[in-house]
Amino acid sequence: MNTPPIVSPEEWEAARQRLLVREKEVTHARDALAAERRRMPWLAVEKAYQFDGPTGKASLLDLFEGRRQLIVYRAFLEPGVTGWPEHACIGCSMVADQVAHVAHLNARDTTLAFVSRAPQPDIERVKARMGWEMPWYTLTDGFDSDFGVGEWHGTNAFIRDGDSVFRTYFLNDRGDEAMGGTWSYLDMTALGRQEAWEDSPEGYPQTPRPPSPSRGPYGWWIWHDEPRETDP
């Protein structure tokens, strides 16, 4: 290895501060991109898609679980995929391993779901083996090909207005590398993190920082083992 130089603590801190300037630029650019996503046009979903779930048939609207937003990751867990029948695709498995507790997305009126073509008994078996807890449905129609994930993984974001569903954003390839954390998922949605500091269109739901430090810096933060009254 051609290693960097060994320096004094003062020189090391100076180098870190120089890099921090650029890191903050990237953070601000990322915030600006998320603000642009919140201004993306919406695409109406006209077809009546159907899935198989743990409790039976489910529509795309059912996948929302009563919440306003839905994020759907297309994972390859099915016959013909390397690792079957014991595992999902190794890359999709890495994504699943990184998913934060979904209660934090739920606290922002957002549901995360995975979808694959494996039958429900196989999905439940692999979930139990791997310790995954996110909702996971079976594809039964052309949802995957219609939303750009027929032959490759990808993450779609949706929002509903009553019973009307709209596609708001999509990412795949290396875009999925950033997924798994609550912040990254919210940043790809139409409503974002729903915090007062964000640059969002007028009328979007936003909550300010509460005055009490006992709830943390943001009022929607939760302990995932404590239910919220606003959760469906």
Cα atoms in the 13 Å half-sphere on the side-chain side of 121: 0
Which residue is listed with tokens 């219609």?
A: 146
pLDDT at 215 over 60: no
Rounded distance between C-alpha atoms, residue 218 and residue 213, angstroms? 9
pLDDT for the residue numbered 99: 97
Residue 232: is its pLDDT beyond 90? no
Question: Looking at residues 15-34, what average pLDDT do you find?
Answer: 97
pLDDT at residue number 211: 54
Amino acid 31: pLDDT: 97
The conformation of residue 186, written as its DSSP 8-state character, comes to: H
Using one digit for the tens of pLDDT, what is the confidence trace for 61-82? 999 999 999 999 999 999 999 9
Report pLDDT digits (tens) over 102-155: 999 999 999 999 999 999 999 999 999 999 999 999 999 999 999 999 999 999
Answer yes or no: is pLDDT of 212 > 60: no
206 pLDDT above the threshold of 80: yes
Per-residue model confidence (pLDDT) at position 219: 78
Taking phi first (over 0 means left), then psi (-120 to 50 degrees means alpha), and beta for anything else, what does residue 192 get? Answer: left
In the numeric block, which tokens belong to residue 28? Answer: 């601000």
CA pair distance 72, 41, nearest whole angstrom: 18
pLDDT of res. 208: 73
Q: What is the model's pTM?
A: 0.92
Q: Out of 48-57, 114-123, 161-170, 205-214, pick the least confident.
A: 205-214
Model pLDDT, residue 209: 64
Average pLDDT, stretch 9-17? Answer: 98
Per-residue model confidence (pLDDT) at position 133: 95
Of residues 212 and 194, more confidence is placed in 194
Tens of pLDDT, residue by residue over 188-199, are: 999 999 998 899
- pLDDT at 174 exceeding the cut of 70: yes
At 203, is the secondary structure helix, strand, or coil? coil
As a CATH number, domain 43-192 is 3.40.30.10
